[in-house]
Amino acid sequence: MSEHGPTEHWQDVEELWRDRLSEAKARYEIAVARFRTAAEDVRTRHTPGPDGSFSVHLAIAEESSARKEYMRVLRVFTDLLLNGRIPDEKAPDGNPAMGSRSLGRPRKAG
């Protein structure tokens, strides 16, 4: 193993989870915008009756799901940065603590 091996691995893992966090945040923001649009359409009666209510219901479900995923990825990323824990992606319930392993964050020389 090279002298920089663990640090390079750490940087790869950190970059991977930073990208996942960014993607989850973007999906959440899109879901929030869709919810706001659906709610405004119902409020202004652009989409009346059952269809409008149903679109709001779907938008709420999408926003909730996106928020839960964003929070999950944020917890994983935070745990990675603060505690050096790399989650096991195979955890059946998506719990970032299950099967995680701690590498310890590499220390900078000097």
Domain ranges of the chain: 29-85
Tens digits of residue pLDDT in 34-77:
999 999 988 888 766 777 788 999 999 999 999 999 999 999 99
Q: Please check whether residue 55 is in contact with residue 72, taking contact to mean a CB–CB distance below 8 angstroms.
A: no
The residue-averaged pLDDT of 3-15 equals 78
For residue 95, give the DSSP letter.
-
Neighbour count for residue 71 (Cβ, 10 Å): 12
